Amino acid sequence: MEVVRLRVNGDERVCGVPSHYTLLETLRYGLGLTGSKQGCDKGDCGACTVIVDGRAVLSCITPVWEAEGKDVRTVEGLASGTVPHPVQDEFDLNGAAQCGFCTPGILCSSVALLDRNSSPTREEIRTALAGNLCRCTGYEKIYDAVEAAAERLGG
């Protein structure tokens, strides 16, 4: 058991974890931030995607030590107070979340995309989400939601 210090969603957090823990395990089982999901254990599905220093990162294959001193943003940190991030709201409006299990990761990939490209084309959205598997939607409604969010963000 070792002590790890992380900045998660703006909060400075300290917790004890086994030394082999990943960022995902630390978030879920160390800090109780269960929004980020484990779907495959090995970086295939993208359900664990979080934003580290502005980049979408697979937290299930990121040793937690690599995230020390960096800014970690998870699905729990996307809203501003009581106001959802436009991507979250558009996911809801467009039916982009069915079972919702891939949704936290896709939201993080989408927010990371929109933060660097405020008016992505549909093709750019497809490419940015290529590391996030969704088994329910066929992706169409996810693209619709990201496009609508970009529009709302003034891109």
Partner 1 sequence: MSGRGISSSPGMREVSHKARASSADARSPAAGVRAPAPSVPEAPPAVRPPSPNGPGGADGTRAELATIGRRMRKVDGFAKASGRARYTDDIQLAGMLHGKILRSPHPHARIVAIDTSRAAELPGVHAVVTGRDMPVTYGIIPWTPDEYPLCVDKVRYVGDGVAAVAAVDEDTAIAALDLIEVTYEELPAYLDPHEAIEAAAGPYIHAPRKPGHNGNITKVVELAFGDVEGGLADADLVVEGDYFFEGTTHTPIEPHCAIGLAEPNGKLTVWSATQVPHYLHRELARVLDVDPALVRVVQPPVGGAFGGKSEPFDLEFCVAKLAMMTGRPVKILYTREEVFYSHRGRHPFHMRYRTGATKEGMLTSVDADIVLDGGAYASFGLVTTYYSGQLLTAPYQMPAYRFHSTRAYTNKPACGPKRGHGSVQPRFAFEVQLDRIAEALAIDPIELRRRNFIGSDTRTVNDLRVTSNGFLECLEAVERASDWKRKFGRLPYGRGVGVAGSTYITGTNYPVYPNEMPQSGIQLQVDRSGRVAVFSGASEIGQGVDSMVTYIVAEELGVPLEHIRVLAGDTDFTPVDLGAYSSRVTFMLGNACIDAARRIKAMVQEAVAEEWGTKPRAVLLAGGLAVMAGDTGTAMPLREAFNLAEAKYGTLGATGSYNTPKDVHGSYRGATIGASPAYSFTAHVAEVEVDAETGFVTVEKIWIAHDCGRALNPVLVEGQMEGSAYMGFAEALMEEQIFKTADQGRAGLHNAPSLLDYRIPTSLDTPALESLIIESIDPEGPYGAKEAGEGPLHPSIPAIANAIYDAVGVRMNALPFSPPRVWRAIRAAGKGRAG
For partner 1, the binding residues (CB under 8 A) are 18, 28-29, 32-42, 44-45, 47, 74-76, 78-79, 83-84, 86, 88-89, 91-95, 97-104, 107, 125-127, 129-144, 148, 152
Cβ nearer to partner 1, comparing 46 with 62: 46
CB of 80 to partner 1, least distance (A): 8
Cβ nearer to partner 1, comparing 65 with 133: 133
Nearest to 94 by CA among 46, 103, 3: 103
Cβ nearer to partner 1, comparing 69 with 140: 140
CB of 5 to partner 1, least distance (A): 22
CB of 4 to partner 1, least distance (A): 17
Cβ nearer to partner 1, comparing 56 with 69: 56
CB of 13 to partner 1, least distance (A): 16
- Residue/partner pairs of 73-76 with CB below 8 Å, 24 or more apart: 73/8, 73/9, 73/108, 73/111, 74/8, 74/9, 74/27, 74/33, 74/35, 74/36, 74/50, 74/104, 74/108, 75/35, 75/36, 75/50, 75/103, 75/104, 75/105, 75/107, 75/108, 76/9, 76/33, 76/35
